[in-house]
């Protein structure tokens, strides 16, 4: 379990994350949504151990999270050019040299399923195929948590659909969790267990998808728009 307690983070004088308290259990797919600048990427970087909170604590398995025990988190950044000078095979070999939990065999299997050519340098692949290669490299690791920053951003619907299917096929829903930020909420909604909505670095709404549908009779996109609108109205 990953737990954040009263976590805050500033860039210069701007408070990007404000006093967040959240828990990410094992065995769920958790979506993080919000407008640009709401703090999604910063939150994921802290969960991955790349950035440290300036206030508050983050623990994983009841131990303070650091770069050392962040090995239990496989992180997929939102950058497009991702080790662009490597072929897919070279990328997998590099991951294998860095992460003891990495399986080249699994990564190759995911790449084959996603129909990406692992013999071509990443910079020569289309954006969609680079996205597939990044996903294969991330899922090649065997960790309790996969943390993914906008894994479907800028990709066409067919690519997004294949990546979503890959997520389901190559993760164990009982022993692993996926935490992902996304603007493609409509397409990701069917696989989500929980949705967290951020605004100005704060959680303005959080609920299980089943509860959202049952209690509000809305889909996730409509629910998110309404709670965001309500928050803006309250603050005016």
Least confident range of 46-55, 78-87, 98-107, 218-227: 78-87
- Helix (H), strand (E) at residue 158: helix 157-169
Instruction: Summarize pLDDT for 3-26 with one digit per residue, the tens.
Output: 999 999 998 888 899 999 999 999
Q: What is the mean predicted confidence (pLDDT) over 77-102? A: 91
Q: What is the mean predicted confidence (pLDDT) over 101-116? A: 95
Distance between CA atoms of residues 129 and 112, nearest Å: 12
Pick the CATH number of 2-235 from 3.40.50.300, 3.30.56.10, 3.40.50.720, 3.30.479.20: 3.40.50.300
Give the count of beta carbons closer than 10 Å to the beta carbon of residue 90: 15
Residue 210 three-state SS = helix
Look at the alpha carbons of 89, 92, 96, 100 in this order and tell me if their dihedral is positive or negative. negative
Least confident range of 103-117, 134-148, 150-164, 222-236: 222-236
Q: Taking 80 as the threshold, does the pLDDT of residue 233 lie above it? A: no
Instruction: For the chain, give every domain's residue range.
Output: 2-235
Read off the pLDDT band of 120 (50, 70, 90). very high
Q: What is the mean predicted confidence (pLDDT) over 180-197? A: 92
């Amino acid at each position: 379990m990953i737990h954040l307690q009263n976590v805050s983070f500033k860039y210069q004088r701007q408070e990007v994350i404000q006093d967040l308290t959240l828990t990410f259990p094992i065995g769920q797919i958790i979506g993080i949504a919000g407008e640009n600048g709401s703090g999604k990427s910063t939150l994921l970087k802290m969960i991955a151990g790349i950035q440290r909170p300036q206030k508050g604590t983050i623990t994983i398995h009841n131990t303070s999270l650091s770069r050392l025990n962040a090995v239990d988190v496989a992180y997929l950044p939102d950058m497009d050019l991702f080790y662009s000078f490597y072929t897919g095979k070279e990328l997998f070999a590099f991951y294998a040299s860095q992460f003891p939990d990495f399986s080249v065999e699994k990564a190759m299997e995911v790449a084959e399923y996603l129909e990406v050519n692992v013999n071509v340098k990443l910079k020569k692949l289309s954006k969609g195929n680079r996205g597939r290669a990044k996903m294969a490299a991330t899922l090649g690791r065997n960790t309790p948590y996969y943390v993914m920053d906008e894994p479907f951003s800028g990709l066409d619907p067919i690519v997004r659909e294949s990546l979503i299917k890959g997520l389901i096929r190559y993760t164990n829903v009982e022993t692993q969790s996926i935490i992902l930020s996304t603007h493609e909420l409509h397409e990701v909604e069917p696989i989500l267990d929980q949705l967290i909505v951020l605004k100005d670095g704060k959680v303005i709404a959080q609920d299980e998808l089943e509860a959202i549908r049952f209690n509000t009779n809305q889909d996730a996109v409509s629910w998110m728009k309404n709670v965001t609108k309500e928050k803006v109205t309250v603050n005016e």
